[in-house]
């Protein structure tokens, strides 16, 4: 107690023990309790909201008059009420890019994958238009380039950079020579009588061999040859063979055509044989060693002893020895 007469009760709050505008509440004559404000804590409200270091990642803490009674000033690249979020928190790296914190603006760095590029990996492998000559770019996801070019108009190559060669496929057949006409067209210079856009038409395609003749290609003009069926001749088998045209009947014999290659000779007097090639032997009818005697008008046989008959064809029953 205090006062001249010790009439004044003791006041534990008289010394204003509660700091930082804290309210002192008496508890009996000797004790008190501080009701802290503005985020201060402690028995006497001496502990600032910043004393617990709520600002992370080296952020600077400043006390305020409103909840949470402190404010964090974050270092570059960090965000959040307590600077708890680094620059990668918002996941700026797209398309599976890997984010890492950087010391310079924008305070993160993206490591891109699968051919993507750009500061946030937002540009796909086709962004740079790698396909030339109107080729269409498609993201493939396959290393090492992660894109594929769909080429048009005959262009080839990974980027459609190779000009088309219309003769590359060897369109000219049968040893024809291919002559390119620009990027797309070509002309075939055909050999050995072949014709057609690609020299595909054989000289035999026109069926020059008549009457069932067989056509085969050759290397000189007219570039085909006919093998004729029996009974036909001519380069194209166009002529029917007349066996009498070759005059097979000799010595003035008359040729008679029997059809096909068959013929028959009618011989003049004195000649015989299938082609009248044999002279008729008027004495050819004497047998058994008989001798022929002939003149302009007739012939007869002089028989050997023991034979008789007009041709000496019979044995004589009797003969006389001289």
Rounded CA separation 260/230 (Å): 8
| 313 inside domain | yes
pLDDT in tens, 202-246: 999 989 999 999 999 988 889 999 999 988 999 999 998 888 888
| 306 inside domain | yes
Of 15, 62, 54, give the one whose Cα is nearest residue 34.
Answer: 15
Contact criterion met (CB below 8 Å) for 188 and 172:
yes
Contact criterion met (CB below 8 Å) for 70 and 39:
yes
pLDDT band (50, 70, 90) for residue 2? low
Rounded CA separation 66/37 (Å): 10
pLDDT in tens, 96-142: 999 999 888 889 999 999 999 999 999 999 999 999 999 999 998 78
Q: Output the domain CATH number for residue 311.
A: 2.10.25.10
Query: Would you give the DSSP letter of residue 2?
Result: B
| 292 inside domain | yes
Give how many domains the chain has, as a whole number: 1
Coil/strand/helix, residue 253: coil
| 237 inside domain | no
pLDDT in tens, 34-68: 999 888 999 999 999 998 899 999 999 998 888 88
pLDDT band (50, 70, 90) for residue 29? confident
| Residue range of the domain that includes 311 | 281-322
- Residue 322 pLDDT greater than 50, yes or no: no
Task: Give percent of the chain above pLDDT 70.
Answer: 94
Rounded CA separation 89/80 (Å): 10
| 318 inside domain | yes
| 193 inside domain | no
pLDDT of residue 261: 80
Rounded CA separation 289/311 (Å): 10
| 303 inside domain | yes
| 185 inside domain | no
Residue 108 — φ and ψ, nearest 5°? -150, 160
CA 237 and chain centroid, separation: 46
pLDDT in tens, 247-286: 999 999 999 988 778 889 999 877 888 999 987 766 667 8
E strands along 161-318, which residues?
177-181, 185-189, 214-217, 224-227, 232-233, 239-240, 254-259, 262-266, 271-272, 278-279, 291-294, 299-302, 307-308, 314-315
Question: Is the model's pTM score more than 0.85?
Answer: no
How large is the C-alpha radius of gyration of the chain? 65
- Residue 319 pLDDT greater than 70, yes or no: no
- Residue 144 pLDDT greater than 90, yes or no: no
């Amino acid at each position: 107690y205090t006062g001249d007469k010790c009439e004044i009760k003791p006041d534990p709050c008289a010394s204003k023990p509660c700091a930082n505008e804290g309210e002192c509440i008496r508890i009996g004559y000797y004790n008190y309790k501080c009701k802290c404000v503005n985020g201060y804590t402690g028995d006497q409200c001496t502990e600032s909201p910043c004393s617990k270091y709520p600002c992370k990642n080296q952020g600077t803490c400043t006390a305020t008059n409103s909840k949470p009674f402190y404010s964090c000033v974050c270092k570059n690249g960090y965000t959040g009420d307590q600077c708890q979020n680094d620059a990668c928190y918002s996941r700026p790296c797209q398309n599976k890019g890997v984010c890492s914190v950087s010391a310079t603006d924008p305070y993160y760095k993206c490591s891109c994958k699968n051919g993507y590029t750009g500061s946030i990996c937002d540009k796909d492998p086709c962004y740079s238009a790698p396909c030339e000559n109107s080729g269409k770019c498609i993201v493939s996801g396959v290393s090492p380039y992660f894109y594929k070019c769909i080429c048009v108009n005959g262009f080839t190559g990974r980027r459609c950079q190779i000009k088309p060669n219309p003769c590359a496929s060897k369109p000219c057949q049968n040893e024809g020579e291919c002559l390119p006409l620009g990027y797309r067209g070509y002309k075939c210079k055909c050999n050995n009588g072949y014709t057609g856009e690609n020299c595909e038409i054989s000289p035999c395609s026109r069926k020059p061999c008549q009457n069932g003749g067989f056509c085969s290609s050759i290397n000189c003009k007219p570039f085909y040859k006919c093998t004729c069926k029996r009974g036909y001749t001519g380069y194209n088998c166009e002529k029917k063979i007349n066996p009498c045209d070759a005059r097979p009947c000799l010595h003035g014999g008359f040729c008679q055509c029997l059809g096909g290659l068959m013929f028959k000779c009618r011989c003049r007097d004195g000649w015989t044989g299938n082609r009248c090639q044999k002279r008729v032997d008027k004495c050819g009818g004497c047998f058994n060693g008989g001798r022929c005697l002939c003149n302009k008008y007739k012939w007869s046989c002089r028989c050997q002893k023991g034979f008789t008959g007009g041709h000496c064809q019979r044995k004589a029953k009797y003969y006389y020895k001289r």
